[in-house]
């Protein structure tokens, strides 16, 4: 009797699944198998075809030299610690400054218009200049004023350049999140007697920041990579250390080692950002 009832309802008697769910599960399994076979075929083709290139042996010696990699990798890992230190110093400063700039950009009071104008100019100028150029201008320009140590350190001014450049981008992310909050939320807050400041602090900002978290994680990944740009003004971080070893061994393998370190550091964060984005999209579709 129960089997007939399940069949009548379009369910599989074995697992209590609908026929559509069974079909979707089989289709997903089939797509995974096809994807795995396709990936394996591509990898095998690359493994067979690339070594047939005339210059493969030279490229292998210059970029994939195991002996050079084993000698240089531990020291490059130590240099990457400096990247992480600069990153963890810059990231909170960027978020704090970006939030302030975003709030200034969103003020509506006529008396506070100079703040709004400053925020607009700040964002437009720093988003228009490449990050590397901002690092050059600040990293070489400010110490050129004749400041005494340690205030002429490229570590300090390189970090300042990153903070200024990235805060302009992230300020726009925060502003987008703030403006995405429906006006009804603000109206409800006002009806409860909240001031503009309290409304922004307790109602608008918590929702706005939650909405832009996946984008912020992506910017964090980009920031971790762009810390390497500071090598152009002096700090001996991972990229500069790889360049030193490249010159010392006359080999490009240290750059491959540096790339592997960045991959191991950033791919988990990228996957986490994708997870957050998918979760957010799923919640919106409900």
* Residue 218 belongs to domain with CATH number: 1.10.3720.10
Check whether residue 42 and residue 145 sit in a common domain: no
Percent of the chain exceeding pLDDT 90 equals: 42
- Count the Cβ atoms, other than its own, within 10 Å of residue 245: 23
| Averaged pLDDT, 84-95 | 94
Domain-embedded: residue 228: yes
Regarding whether 121 and 82 lie in a shared domain, the answer is yes
Distance CA 26, CA 20 (A): 10
Q: What is residue 147's DSSP assignment?
A: P
CB 259 within 8 A of CB 239: no
Structural domain of 86: 65-285
Write out pLDDT tens, residues 126-146. 999 999 999 999 988 888 888
Specify whether 92 is located in the same domain as 27: no
Range with top average pLDDT, 52-61, 103-112, 133-142, 227-236: 133-142
pLDDT at 110: 83
Domain shared by 28 and 95, yes or no: no
Torsion-angle region of 10 (φ positive above 0: left; ψ -120 to 50: alpha; else: beta): left
Instruction: Report yes or no on 57 lying in a domain.
Output: no
Shared domain check, 142 and 270: yes
- Identify whether 125 is part of a domain: yes
pLDDT exceeds cutoff 60 at 183:
yes
Average pLDDT over residues 20-35: 86
Q: Is residue 60 part of a domain?
A: no
Q: What residues does 11 pair with on adjacent strands? A: 18
How many structural domains are present in the chain? 2
Q: Do the domain assignments include residue 137?
A: yes
Q: What is the pLDDT of residue 16?
A: 61
Does 7 share its domain with 113?
A: no
> Does the pLDDT value for residue 13 go beyond 60?
no
pLDDT at 286: 67
Is the preceding peptide bond at 150 cis, omega within 30 degrees of 0?
yes
Percent of the chain with pLDDT over 70: 93
Which one has a higher pLDDT value, 104 or 192? 104
Binning pLDDT at 50, 70 and 90, where does residue 54 land? confident
Cα(22)–Cα(10) distance, integer angstroms? 10
Average pLDDT over residues 61-83: 91
Q: Which residues pair with 18 in a beta bridge?
A: 11
For residue 75, being part of any structural domain is answered with yes
Q: Are residues 257 and 193 in the same domain?
A: yes
**Where a domain ends, among 52, 74, 93?**
52
Please report whether residue 58 resides in a domain.
no
DSSP codes of every residue in 47-77 = HHHGGGSTTHHHHHHHH--HHHHHHHHHHHH
- 11-26: average pLDDT: 71
Q: What is the mean pLDDT of residues 56-64?
A: 87
Those residues whose C-beta lies under 8 Å from the C-beta of residue 114, and which sit 6 or more positions away, are none
pLDDT at 15: 56
Rounded Cα gap, residues 191 and 176, in angstroms: 24
Determine the pLDDT at residue 8: 46
Q: What is the SS3 assignment for 1?
A: coil
Which helix (H) or strand (E) is 248 found in, with range?
helix 238-249
Q: Which residues contact 204 (CB under 8 A, 6 or more apart)?
A: 178, 181, 185, 186, 189
- Taking Cα atoms as reference points, which of 175, 205, 199 lies closest to residue 186? 199
């Amino acid at each position: 009797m129960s089997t007939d009832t399940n069949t009548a309802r379009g369910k599989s008697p074995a697992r209590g699944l609908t026929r559509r769910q069974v079909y979707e599960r089989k289709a997903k399994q089939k797509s995974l198998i096809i994807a795995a076979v396709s990936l394996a075929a591509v990898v095998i083709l690359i493994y067979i075809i690339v070594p047939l290139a005339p210059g493969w042996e030279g490229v292998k010696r210059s970029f994939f030299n195991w002996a050079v990699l084993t000698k240089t990798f531990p020291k490059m890992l130590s240099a990457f610690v400096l990247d992480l230190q600069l990153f963890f110093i810059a990231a909170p400063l960027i978020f704090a400054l970006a939030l302030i700039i975003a709030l200034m950009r969103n003020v509506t009071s006529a008396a506070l218009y100079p703040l709004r104008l400053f925020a607009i100019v700040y964002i437009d100028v720093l988003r228009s200049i490449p990050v590397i150029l901002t690092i050059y201008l600040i990293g070489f320009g400010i110490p050129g004023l004749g400041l005494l140590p340690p205030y002429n350190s490229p570590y300090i001014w390189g970090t300042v350049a990153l903070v200024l450049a990235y805060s302009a981008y992230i300020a726009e992310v925060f502003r987008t999140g703030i403006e995405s909050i429906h006006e009804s939320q603000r109206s409800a807050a006002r009806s409860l007697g909240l001031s503009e400041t309290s409304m922004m602090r307790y109602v608008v900002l918590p929702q706005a920041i939650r909405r832009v978290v996946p984008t912020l994680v992506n910017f964090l990944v980009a920031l971790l990579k762009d810390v390497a740009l500071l090598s152009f003004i002096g700090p001996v971080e991972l990229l500069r250390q790889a360049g030193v070893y490249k010159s010392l061994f006359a080999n490009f393998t240290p750059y491959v080692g540096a790339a592997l370190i960045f991959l191991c550091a950033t791919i988990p964060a990228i996957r986490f950002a994708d997870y957050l984005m998918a979760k957010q999209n799923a919640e919106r579709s409900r």
